[in-house]
Chains A and B, each alone.
Chain A
């Protein structure tokens, strides 16, 4: 369960300070499928990065399963990221010189899982996303949709409780986007919390709850049908 209260975040650039998040509050329960919507500059990506402990926040509280995430050391943050979160990025962020299987196995490497075991687990997840035959292909040899599925498999491989996806369909055509969304929905159905940041209405329409941001504040937060009805 994720609970944030009165969350503020500013970026300081030289003399200027850019106030990106101006007091965000929400709770996301286990097993939810949530999309965070907003136009560019609304602070949605920043919010996701803070949720994923990739970035720090200035004010407010952030609790993950009842544990405070305040002033984490980088080692502690890395530990929580590895344990609780799986990331899916718009630009896939696969490591270019590692094949699909090695990319998926990498989070397990940092957990200290033996090579044999982690390759076996990686293959299981590769099968799950339907790319078993592509295990030994490099990312450069795969299509965008395939790369994103490898990225999703990598996010799942540590069996995290939360999947954080930042514009997962941003670099894909509509057909492939649909397939990726189906995969994410399926993962949600298996019990994982899925949080998707997007600016595409078609994507958010496939989630169960929408949090709409504008200029660093929550504009709307509710079930999908209700929020979309207001757009």
Chain B
């Protein structure tokens, strides 16, 4: 099998018409090259889109209150209502498959009017009252200090976790904001943490202008009573978000005397559902890439097959001689298939290397990219293995017809042809 003469013969055949071999090889090279580059770019696109989402929990949902649209239990329609603190425990105790529940309230300001002051610096930021669980649903990167903890909630602590941009605007360049007091709507809060966004450039800029305060403190400072602005929740990995959200809304309707069929009394956004749409889109793109890639590769393999047919015809006499001196049909078939496989695999290997090279270059070029739609593309090693397997198989298939044609002829007819 690994006889040196076999390799010498294969190399001789491939070298005997260099231009033809090169052009044939190029077909296969291009097929694999395109497949790898397209798969890589597809992966980069995927990374680019998902990077924009940061580490947003994909198994999450959000809900908020709206005016009722159906009269129920003595109430008129058009009633304004709110989630209340009592809902939190009721939901935690009763909803099956609820993983995390993070109620949120919002402070005033943040849309023009300056609401935060430190020394001589002022700024306009979004103020949120959050539970620790929030950072598991829509996480940020804490670069110094910490996020809100349970003791902050229980003790109504006046602490703040500020975004990177907030720090830049309120503090001097070299100043450490930790343990400094900033004034938010007239109340002093101690800075205990600074965070960076995990999301893509545009969204990150917004997010880094947020200030997170303890939920309970905000309710008290702003005189919200026990009102909750909205809920973020995540579902157990085994349960679908839709099921958990339905269950949650059912309990909320019951507690707040909302008509069971009043769908518009509550706003609801299912991240999982949106996420699945994006995932479906990428599956479609991937499928398309494989179809086009395999098609191109197939065209290359057909080229190899075609050339092998010509080679077999050119060498009919030589194959006749070989059979006269004892080469069995299996020997002849093996020889032709070997040539076909060597041509296909070496050309394909070159395409693979070139494709991976291009993807690697894009990877390095987008390594620190902030606003790139293609981000750090990678070729999975398995894909390279699959591509190589496809190559070997297509090489064998490309050689089969010519090989069959070579042995179909009687040896004497092969010998007589010139």
Contacts and interface: CB of A to CB of B under 8 A. Distances in A.
A97 interface: yes
A47 B265 CA distance: 100
- Please report whether the interface of chain B is mostly helix, strand, loop or mixed according to DSSP: helix
10 contacts: A54-B412, A55-B410, A55-B411, A75-B328, A78-B327, A78-B328, A79-B326, A93-B321, A95-B321, A110-B328
A109 B324 contact: no
A111 B4 CA distance: 16
B138 interface: no
B19 interface: no
A37 interface: no
Contacts of A95: 318, 321-322
A78 B5 contact: no
A65 B412 CA distance: 23
Given A78-B323, A93-B324, A55 B331 contact: no
Interface in B267-324: 317-318, 320-324
A75 B334 CA distance: 13
Interface in B168-206: none
B329 interface: yes
B330 interface: yes
B243 to A, nearest CB: 65
Contacts of A102: 5
A81 B5 contact: no
Closest 3 A/B residue pairs (Cβ)? A82-B326, A78-B328, A54-B412
A110 B331 contact: yes
A78 B326 contact: yes
A188 B321 CA distance: 24
Interface of A: 49, 52, 54-56, 74-75, 78-79, 81-83, 87, 89, 93-97, 102, 106-107, 109-111, 115, 154, 158
Contacts, number: 67
Nearest to B330: A75
B5 A115 contact: yes
Contacts of A52: 324
A115 B3 contact: yes
B324 A106 contact: no
Given A75-B330, A106-B325, A115-B3, 18 more contacts: A54-B323, A54-B411, A54-B415, A55-B412, A74-B407, A75-B328, A78-B331, A81-B324, A81-B325, A82-B326, A83-B326, A93-B317, A93-B321, A107-B325, A109-B3, A109-B5, A110-B331, A154-B325
A110 B3 contact: no
A93 B320 CA distance: 9
B12 interface: yes
Contacts of B317: 93
Interface size range of chain B in the complex: 20 to 34
Contacts of A87: 324-325
A97 B326 CA distance: 19
Most B C-beta atoms less than 10 A away, residue of A52, A94, A109, A158: A109
Contacts of A107: 325-326
Contacts of B3: 109, 115
A170 to B, nearest CB: 14
B324 A54 contact: yes
A99 to B, nearest CB: 11
A89 B3 CA distance: 28
Interface string B396-409: 00000000000100
B101 to A, nearest CB: 75
Nearest to A81: B326
B324 to A, nearest CB: 5
A115 B9 CA distance: 14
Contact of B12 (A54, A78, A97): A97
B108 to A, nearest CB: 89
Nearest to A78: B328
Given A55-B410, A55-B412, A115-B5, A75 B329 contact: yes
Most A C-beta atoms less than 10 A away, residue of B323, B324, B328: B324
A104 B331 CA distance: 18
A21 to B, nearest CB: 14
Interface in B316-350: 317-318, 320-331
B326 A111 contact: yes
Given A110-B328, A111-B326, A115-B5, A56 B321 contact: no
Interface in B373-413: 407, 410-412
A216 B402 CA distance: 36
A116 to B, nearest CB: 10
B298 to A, nearest CB: 31
A115 B2 CA distance: 11
Contacts of A89: 415
A78 B317 CA distance: 16
B228 to A, nearest CB: 84
Most B C-beta atoms less than 10 A away, residue of A52, A94, A97: A97
A158 B326 CA distance: 10
A111 B322 CA distance: 12
B15 to A, nearest CB: 10
Nearest to A45: B412
A95 B9 CA distance: 11
B340 to A, nearest CB: 19
Contacts of B328: 74-75, 78-79, 110
A53 to B, nearest CB: 8
A82 B411 CA distance: 13
A203 to B, nearest CB: 21
